[in-house]
Amino acid sequence: MTTAPRTMSRQPQLNVHRRRHVERLRWRGRWVFAASLVLAILVYRVATATYEPTLEELLPDSAASIERQRGILFGRAGAVLFRWWEAAQRPAGLAIMVVAAGVIGAAVFYQAAHRIEIDEG
């Protein structure tokens, strides 16, 4: 009698306690992601309420000269990194970083649950 080969669609055979542990890990991952979304909304709301415009926004003509000086001092890659850094300091950038951290945190929980299923299933 031959047994069917293991496929990814077959549920792993975990005992009740390990199955509960896996489900708790997955729920924690969902909660971490949901909490990061809520926190991102709060960060965005607070950051937009307390946002102070930068020098480039107050004096648009100075933006080109500042960009040129950064290009001279740090090269093209340095100027691009400074633009990314400034974008990350804006309210939307801060909110995106919070959500990205939440995605990474949720992925850790999901990976731990998956690893338990693979190792013991």
Whether the predicted pLDDT of 1 surpasses 70: no
Q: Which helix (H) or strand (E) holds 113?
A: helix 91-120
Tens-digit pLDDT profile for residues 56-107: 788 888 888 888 888 899 999 998 999 899 889 899 999 999 999 999 999 9
| Backbone angles phi and psi of 92, in degrees to 5 | -65, -40
Indicate the average pLDDT of the chain.
88
Burial class of residue 101 in the structure, from the number of CB atoms within 10 Å of its CB (0-12 exposed, 13-18 middle, 19+ buried): middle
What is the predicted pLDDT for the residue at 15? Answer: 82
3-state secondary structure labels for all residues of 60-106: HHHHHHHHHHHHHHHHHHHHHHHHHHHHHCCHHHHHHHHHHHHHHHH
Over residues 24-62, the pLDDT tens digits come to: 999 999 999 999 999 999 999 999 999 888 877 888 888
Give this prediction's pTM.
0.76
82: CB partners within 8 A, 6+ apart: 70, 74
pLDDT of residue 9: 60
Query: What is the domain partition of the chain in residue ranges?
Result: 16-120
> How far is it, in rounded angstroms, from Cα 106 to Cα 28?
7
Token readout for 84 is 């990314």
